[in-house]
Amino acid sequence: MAMQVTLKDGTALPSIGQGTWYMGEDSSRKREEIKALQLGLDLGLEVIDTAEMYGEGLAEEVVGEAIKDRRDQAFLVSKVYPHNAGRPEIVTSCENSLKRLQTDYLDLYLLHWRGGVPLSETVEGLEVLKSEGKIKRWGISNFDVSDMEELWSLPSGDQAQLNQVLYHLGSRGIEYDLIPWQKENQVPVMAYSPIAHGGKERQRLLENKQLKEVAEEYGVTPLQMALAWTIRTGQVLSIPKAVQEQHVRQNAEAMAIELSQQALDQLDSAFPPPTSKQPLDII
């Protein structure tokens, strides 16, 4: 049975979606990227995450092509640059994203990370966009516990639906305090780079002996095992990027992997959980 994550407003989503970082930056791969996103939708990976930062809008254009004539099958997420998060800039940024995405609304709009604009002003702008129907809901990205507490102290701050942060087997710091805080306040985590970021770091993760052994026991790839691990609690929605058909299919299959306590213990021994507060990992 495929895992799901439930947003604060009750919206249930498949726990694996599709990332788009670096998409659109090589025009020779655009057709392949569009096909990959469409295959993901066919396989139930309905959450597509993008941002105005990715290729300065090029990734949004790829997504726009991919969801043309099937907008209702996608749960569309984009992110605003911190320097565009004030008023009226946030409205302009959102409208530009909507044009590139060829749609008239976003399912979820995130502040990409904190910048110089007061958080209260950003929240006001997000609430205006919501009232105008340009976004259905909003959230944040790269927020630690102190940021979340500050957000919750603001009018309408507790309307944030999720927090997108780096999270994978090799980066577990948020388990110490951020995940518990978010669980208590019914705010799921969206995990970016859920199988690590960059070739060397990913290789080091996927070639771990114990990860390989657990994956072999389950008859899956180390990549699938690492991805299934991120969504094991029902509190995390992971957004791996995939362009090759085989990888898209593997990502979708990972939603059905249920890990035993023994498997979790094996992975804990290879990748120990945090025992103290860690700085938030940000790429």
Give the per-residue pLDDT at 3.
87
Under the banding of pLDDT at 50, 70 and 90, the label for residue 211 is: very high
Name residues whose C-beta falls within 8 Å of residue 243's C-beta, 6 or more positions apart in sequence: 23, 29, 32, 33, 36
* pTM for this prediction: 0.97
140-160: pLDDT as tens digits: 999 999 999 999 999 999 999
pLDDT for 199 equals 82
Per-residue confidence band for 135, with pLDDT thresholds at 50, 70 and 90: very high
pLDDT for residue 48 is more than 70 = yes
Query: Which of the 8 DSSP states describes residue 173?
Result: G
In one letter, which amino acid is 188?
P
Q: Which residues are annotated as a binding site for substrate?
A: 112
Crossing angle between the packed helical segments 261-270 and 209-218, to the nearest 10 degrees: 160
Confidence label for 1 from pLDDT (cuts 50, 70 and 90)? low
pLDDT surpasses 70 at 161: yes
Q: Residues 223-266: pLDDT tens digits?
A: 999 999 999 999 999 999 999 999 999 999 999 999 999 999 99
Average pLDDT value for the chain: 96
DSSP 33: H
* 54 in active site: yes
Mean pLDDT over 16-35 rounds to 96
pLDDT class for 283, splitting at 50, 70, 90? confident
Integer Cα distance of 34 and 63 in angstroms = 7
Q: pLDDT value at position 197?
A: 85
Convert the pLDDT of each residue in 73-113 to its tens digit: 999 999 999 999 999 999 999 999 999 999 999 999 999 99
Is the pLDDT confidence value at 2 over 90? no
Catalytic residue among 54, 109, 167, 192: 54
pLDDT reported for residue 4: 95
User: What is the distance between the alpha carbons of residues 6 and 137, in angstroms, rounded to a whole number?
Assistant: 13
Q: Which CATH class is domain 13-199+226-258?
A: alpha beta
Which of 55-76 are b and which e, b meaning 16 or more Cβ less than 10 Å from the residue's Cβ? bebbbbbbbbbbbeeeeeebbb
Annotated binding site: 112
pLDDT of 198 reads 79
pLDDT exceeds cutoff 80 at 66: yes
